[in-house]
Amino acid sequence: MTAPEVPGTGTPDADLPGMVLGVSGGIAAYKACEVLRRFTESGHRVRVVPTEAALNFVGAATFEALSGQPVRTGVFTNVPEVAHVRLGQRADLVVVAPATADLMARLAHGRADDLLTATLLTARCPVLLAPAMHTEMWEHPATRDNVALLRSRGVVVLEPASGRLTGVDTGPGRLPEPSEIVALARLLLERPDALPRDLTGRRVVVSAGGTREPLDPVRFLGNRSSGRQGYAVAQVAAQRGAEVTLVAANTADLTAPAAVRVVRTGSAEQLRLAMLDESKDADVVVMAAAVADFRPVALAEHKIKKGADGPPVVHLTTNPDILAELVGLRPDGQLVVGFAAETGDETGGVLDHARVKLVRKGCDLLLANAVGDGKAFEQPDNGGWLLGSDGTEVELPHGSKALLASRLWDEVAARLG
Ligand code: C5P
């Protein structure tokens, strides 16, 4: 039995952001539980509104237990509370995961034949749909038209991931990972207009992660870059419509963003070769990877042993500056973006160092992060400055790495015209 519902009335947590999680009837509905859990664990009050079909995959009791809120599907229960309009009116964000072809068709046509579509029709907050369906359904002209129509009305319809679907099929149509849905939902709460489709038709190459310079078969010289900021840059570009290649160095812990092609590399030289190859016909190249400035001159064939004469001496040589090389090779019209992790010192602050670096590297835009004291590295949030070779300097307020990425893409899109 579903508990009686009193929508929108003062619950103890009523001051927290109110989110609606819609779930429509596809096998990926089981992943909605993980999305829900992540939302509630980060402090959101979430009302789950499944379709009747979704309850064939996950029971109402699971959603009620995980959300701590009552769950129902129709508009004819608890009528005096007018839930079919209240939920949409009061929500800060509506996320539908998974959004099936049928749900999007009903929404595109303004149907309001269950609580979820009625909620979507009354919502004036950002709406994020995470589609999941078979490739044939996703590519069908009816679905393409519905997606285009919904996007033209300001609904954010995520690009699905490619990969294993139900059964043995693979292809585009897989639900983006719950962590990605939650990151993009957070982005829309920070900034409702963060995901316009302004990079459609653009080819983008992004490097991310930290290179490892091998010393012997078991050791390397590395750095603390997690790759999260570069992944966010690639993720946001893909969701703004770009065709994205992510050249990743040592980011095995990170989930590949949906609709992004990932090329895996390890050392600076491998990353360099991949970037030179991938960037040839790109509209935008972003060097977010932390590239080692030095590498051992020689790679020992066997593990270096502890010697009687004390520790071995490792001779280093300088790695090429990939960003400078890409700037030198850039075809007409290509935009090149560099990153700079800076700490202030006695000679100047973060911004002073970044201005010097922008000129030295010759790139079109330089995103400067303040690092050290627990800032940026391995952290979910980031802030900094975006400097343009045209003299522009935009401060990037502290927020999620996806928020920083969205500000970067604003500046890039404006320059691409
Ligand atoms: O000089 P610094 O390492 O601070 O410059 C950072 C920028 O230069 C980043 O965009 C980084 O990806 C790039 N870089 C590079 N090749 C190197 C060192 C840094 O492309 N060898």
Distance (angstroms) between ligand 1 centre and the Cα of 249 equals 14
Distance (angstroms) between ligand 1 centre and the Cα of 320 equals 9
Testing ligand 1's pocket by substitution, the residue of 286, 293, 321, 360 carrying the most ligand atoms inside 8 A of its CB is 321
Domain residue spans of the chain: 13-190, 203-416
pLDDT score for 273? 98
Q: What is the CATH number of domain 13-190?
A: 3.40.50.1950
Provide the strand spans (E) within 33-105: 45-50, 93-99
pLDDT score for 7? 37
| Coil, strand or helix at 264 | strand
Q: What is the pLDDT of residues 152-198, one digit of tens each?
A: 999 999 999 998 777 777 889 999 999 999 999 999 999 999 999 99
Pairing of strands 170-174, 161-164: antiparallel
Q: What is the pLDDT of residues 119-133, one digit of tens each?
A: 999 999 999 999 999
The token pair at 306 is: 């502890």
* Residues carrying an active site annotation: 223
Testing ligand 1's pocket by substitution, the residue of 247, 322, 356 carrying the most ligand atoms inside 8 A of its CB is 322
Q: What is the pLDDT of residues 41-94, one digit of tens each?
A: 999 999 999 999 999 999 999 999 999 999 999 998 877 777 788 999 999 999
Fold of 203-416: Rossmann fold (3.40.50)
Q: How far apart are CA 66 and CA 59, in angstroms?
A: 11
Q: Is there a contact between 244 and 199 (Cβ–Cβ < 8 Å)?
A: no
Residue nearest (by alpha carbon) to ligand 1 atom 13? 323
Q: How far apart are CA 19 and CA 94, in angstroms?
A: 6
Asked if the domains 13-190 and 203-416 are classified in one and the same CATH topology, the answer is yes
Q: When comparing pLDDT for 349 and 191, which is higher?
A: 191
Distance (angstroms) between ligand 1 centre and the Cα of 311 equals 30
Distance (angstroms) between ligand 1 centre and the Cα of 82 equals 57
- Ligand 1 close to Cβ of residue 213 (< 6 A): no
Which residue has 């890039």 as its token pair? 412
